[in-house]
Amino acid sequence: DAMVIQNPRYQVTQFGKPVTLSCSQTLNHNVMYWYQQKSSQAPKLLFHYYDKDFNNEADTPDNFQSRRPNTSFCFLDIRSPGLGDAAMYLCATSAGRRPLENEQFFGPGTRLTVL
Amino acid sequence: SQQGEEDPQALSIQEGENATMNCSYKTSINNLQWYRQNSGRGLVHLILIRSNEREKHSGRLRVTLDTSKKSSSLLITASRAADTASYFCATPGGTSYGKLTFGQGTILTVHP
């Protein structure tokens, strides 16, 4: 089945230790998104790619970076995680053909704990 | 900035009852989407309603949209324990390609 896969599902890191979360998709979608979701809050968009074009949200901290080496894979790098970065990180994709009507397909998320 | 505001924040009902959740938004939209999120999981798209539509059905789901009031509602009929989840409305936001802005969500608990 076509899907969005996130690895790992649970990630524990230490304060200040760089961490990378990965996302892959078999949907062949043009657009990939990274969201941060804290407990009982709405998902907050960090950035997204349309093909190789990177779009950063204005309020995304510099501590967060992303890479998309090919259509299928996208990575979220947190250079120096702080306690406030503990959250669920959600990857999503959309087909990108009708930008205003794109249904987004989400992965199961990676729960990040910062010690 | 927050585009969608949802109410109630939490809703607790018995199996078989109907559940209604409301979403209000601030700016003109082309469409509005509803998503479900089971605890600790990703979001699942439920339904999209366009700005020229007033009502849309999908199985036990009924969505309405009132663009004059900038509001939408999601009705789940004959609820089941498996409907227990958080429900989010989402609207196209900003100029970023395909960006969605999510409301704060309604936590629905259906008791068996």
**The pLDDT of residue A2:** 65
CA A42 from chain center: how many Å? 14
Q: What is the mean pLDDT of chain A?
A: 92
Please name the residue that has the structure tokens 């998902």. A43
The amino acid at residue B66 is D
Compute the distance between CA of residue B37 and CA of residue B48 in angstroms, rounded to an integer: 16
The CA angle A30-B52-B96, to the nearest 5 degrees, is: 30
Pairing assessment for the beta strands B106-111 and B10-14 based on DSSP bridges = parallel
For A18-61, what is each residue's pLDDT tens digit? Answer: 999 999 999 999 999 999 999 989 999 999 999 999 999 999 99
For B25-39, what is each residue's pLDDT tens digit? Answer: 988 888 899 999 999
Rg (CA), chain B: 13
Q: Considering only CB atoms, which residues of chain A are within 8 Å of chain B? A: 4, 6, 31, 33, 40-43, 45, 48, 50, 55, 57, 88, 90, 92, 94, 96, 99-109, 111
Spell out the alpha helix ranges (H) of chain B. none
Does B107 sit within 8 Å of A40, measured CB to CB? yes
